[in-house]
Structure 1
Amino acid sequence: MTKKMIVFTGGGTAGHVTPNIAIMNELDQAKWDIQYIGSHKGIEKELIEKINVPYHSISSGKLRRYIDMENVKDVFRVMKGVGDARRILKKLKPALVFSKGGFVTVPVIMAAKSLNIPVFIHESDLTPGLANKIAQRFATKIFTSFDEAAKYFPADKVTVVGSPIRKELLQGRAQVGLNWLHFYDTLPVLTIMGGSLGARRINEAVREALPELTKKFQIVHLCGKGNVDESLKDVRGYKQLEYVHDELSDVLAATDYVITRGGSNAIFEFLALHKPMLIIPLSKAQSRGDQILNAASFKKKGFSLVLEEEQLTKETLMEHIQQLQKGALTMKQTMREATKTDAISTLVREIEAIK
């Protein structure tokens, strides 16, 4: 059987890469030759090389929404990136390019369009990022995580599918997670995730509230690289970790409640796992505001509570955790009734249908 080639692209943040990996893992390797195009030094290079997928790097600029002299230089970087991507694609001759967003994808998608290669893109957030705003005109099909996002794209191209969830996350074992954490089943487990770099304000509020929290919960605190507080390492029922990789599915299986940022991939994973969550989104001072919109959508649908970072104190944190406990059963039932939680199967079917 002759294999078909598929090229994935996406980068800038882990959130633009891990969904691609989730899809790759579900494709039949006997039918598909999988390759990846990313930037020279982005996080995507590190993540993709770890899974031994052939990686091709191109020149890429940064898409800014503000006036900056670097924008002029980046026009030339993007143009060079289109040339780089076009040479790679002409050599690989893929049946499809699949993009998850990030500035590195724009030259890849433009090059694919110029070579008449079909392009699928997936938008995670409630409103499209700048890369996907540009890319939509070159796309063959567009998929979104949020229902609300569909209105930003051409109706004849867009389909709402949800977010691609790593299947291994759904296969965690709670007792294995408890054993690994050295926790017991006497108190519920509260897991706090501040993103790959951690979240200073969340870390501070959690640690200030620790004396009260550890009376009611066992705490898993994923605090980000370099953010472990050595003075708290011996606090009973409090496990600090910079990050978790292989053990994450078991840790989440053991988790009763989650505090998280508002990144789309993370909150859709907790939705699929039916984990009651408190979302503390990045503020507009730190982002384009997409996490705030994501969080508001989940709250409206009954999937989460929301606490704005500007309102975050020890007191408001404890109040919201108490509300989360009270509403957990209703929230879990609402999550079970949610549709669009198996995006992977839909996307794999769409990919398989490419001639």
Structure 2
Amino acid sequence: MSEKTIVLTGGGTAGHVSLNEAIIPSLQAEGYTVHYIGSHHGIEKELITDSFPEVPYHSISSGKLRRYFSLKNFTDPFKVLAGIGQAFSIIKKVKPSIVFSKGGFVSVPVVIAAKLLNIPVVIHESDVTPGLANKLAQPFASHIFTVFKETLKYIPANKATCTGSVVREQLFKGSKMRGLKLCQFESKKPVLLVMGGSLGSVVLNDAIRSNLPELLKDYNVIHLCGKGNVDSSLLELKGYKQFEYVTSELPDLINAADFVVSRAGSNSIFEFLALKKPMLLIPLSSAKSRGDQILNAKLFKNQGFAEVLEEENLTKQTFLESLQTLIQNKESILEAMAKAERPKTPKEMVNLILKYEK
């Protein structure tokens, strides 16, 4: 099989990297040399270089595209221009047959550079409404894949396909027993997994820790609290296990969970759905975001996959009440999840992407 090359890009949060992580092994199995273009210090650099040391990682300048006033809005366009030039040089040297973008600010220079070099670009949008980076990149894309059918109305019909979700195969290989052993839980109480995203969530962390005396009466709690957010005063608390961030351990921890409390990032909630984990979603508020997580959470609630508690309504009491509602509705949630559409495998997603290569 003749060797071909593909460039992947995406970063800023783990959600803009996880699909790329999932498809790299399938691309390699198809005989592709994979290169990754990301930012100098973003989470994507750590995730890719740690998990795939054989994949060349190229760093470029990346400006943040803000929706609010900031003096950096006047300087960051120059970083984007520099990033385009850097990405242009990398892509010209690497000579990929296609570029695949998962989004995030760092992807914009890469997509523009690829278009300038007449390299096909495929974009993946996992939220209900396209993020700002993907909106800017749309005109330069050969095709755009979406997770939600509702997203298609925001994208030109001649270049859009809804594929549904793509879930990493290793998540299905997790072990409940390994997860429980990792946490050193001694009792057989149900396990509550709390995830605030790759950067952590102060709101979720506070909600969990303020309710620990009540929660630990009925649950063992796994808390993925984000880097730098471990509370050292709670390290010896039985039934409560904190992690800053996990990678290889995540499949075991999710499989050990009976219920999940989480933000509402698209990648994570589809993984919980695929693994049939009833979830309480606390989406990032519209005051702190463009509202994409709120839309994700509402769609999951409407389909019967989750309970939702808006961040603005989050208190110590409402958290416990919403969690109790989740427990009460466990069976109906599991029934709805059993009827959900099967997620795409990484190999199936790779086959779709490669249809557009040069």
**Once the two structures are superposed, what CA deviation does each residue of 1:48-106 show, in whole Å capped at 9, x if it has no partner?**
22221101222222212234443332333222222222221111111100000011111
Matched residues in 2 for 1:2 and 1:242: separation?
A: 42
Measured after TM superposition, the shift of residue 199 of structure 1 is: 1.8
User: In the superposition, relative to structure 1, how do residues 187 and 38 fare at CA in structure 2: closer, same or farther (>3 Å)?
Assistant: same
* Superposition map of 1:202-281 within 5 A: 202-281=204-283
1:272-311 aligned within 5 A: 272-311=274-313
* Aligned twin of 2:13: 13
Question: TM-score normalised to the size of structure 1?
Answer: 0.94
Give the AA of the match of 1:311: N
Q: How does 1:27-106 map to 2 (within 5 A)?
A: 27-29=27-29, 31-50=31-50, 51-52=52-53, 53-106=55-108
Distance 1:134 1:217, change over 3 A: same
- Give the length in aligned residue pairs: 355
Cα distance change of structure 1 residues 54 and 174 upon mapping to structure 2, 3 Å threshold: same
Please list, as runs of the form range in 1=range in 2, the aligned pairs for 1:51-200 lying within 5 A after superposition.
51-52=52-53, 53-184=55-186, 186-200=188-202
Q: 1:300 corresponds to which letter in structure 2?
A: N
Which amino acid in structure 1 is aligned with residue 31 of structure 2?
K
- Residue 340 of structure 1 and its aligned partner are, at CA, apart by 5.1
Which segment drifts farther, 75-84 or 167-176?
Answer: 75-84
Cα pair 1:3 1:33 within 8 Å, conserved: yes
Q: CA contact under 8 A between 2:13 and 2:198: conserved in structure 1?
A: no
Cα 1:234–1:66 change in 2 (3 A) is: closer
Instruction: Tell me which moved more, 176-185 or 208-217.
Output: 176-185
Q: Which runs of structure 1 show a deviation greater than 4 angstroms over 4 or more consecutive aligned residues?
A: none
The answer to whether residue 345 in structure 2 is matched with residue 349 in structure 1 is: no
Q: Distance in 2 between the 1:133 and 1:217 partners?
A: 42
Alignment CA distance shift 1:115-1:254 (3 Å):
same
1:30 offset after TM fit, Å?
5.4
Deviation at 1:184, TM superposition (A): 4.9
Worse overlay, 5-14 or 177-186: 177-186
Instruction: Give the fraction of aligned pairs with identical amino acids, expressed as a percent.
Output: 56
**Distance (Å, rounded) in 1 between the aligned partners of 2:45 and 2:206:** 32
The range that moved more, 302-311 or 84-93, is 84-93
SS in 2 for 1:27: helix
Distance 1:352 1:188 in 2: 43
State the match for 1:339 in structure 2: 341
CA distance in 1, matches of 2:147, 2:345: 8
Report the alpha carbon displacement of residue 144 of structure 1 after superposing the two structures with TM: 0.9
One-letter amino acid matched to 1:45: K
CA contact (8 A) 2:39 2:45 kept: yes
- In the alignment, is the contact (CA less than 8 A) between 2:186 and 2:239 conserved in 1? no
- Structure 1 distance, partners of 2:118, 2:172, is 37
Q: TM-score, normalised by structure 2?
A: 0.94
Q: Give 3-state SS (helix, strand or coil) of 2:288's partner.
A: coil
Q: CA RMSD in A?
A: 1.7
Measure the CA separation in 2 of the matches of 1:73 and 1:198.
28
8 Å contact kept, 1:161–1:340: no
Residues 139 and 30 (structure 1), Cα distance of their counterparts in 2 relative to 1, 3 Å cut: closer
- Alpha-carbon shift at residue 262 of structure 1 (Å): 1.0
Following superposition, the deviation at residue 351 of structure 1 comes to 3.0
In 2, the alpha carbon distance for the partners of 1:114 and 1:197 equals: 34
Which amino acid letter does the alignment assign opposite residue 48 of structure 2? I
* 267-276 or 58-67: bigger deviation: 58-67
Q: Does the aligned pair in 2 maintain the 1:23–1:164 contact within 8 Å?
A: no
- Structure 1 residue 185: deviation in Å? 6.5
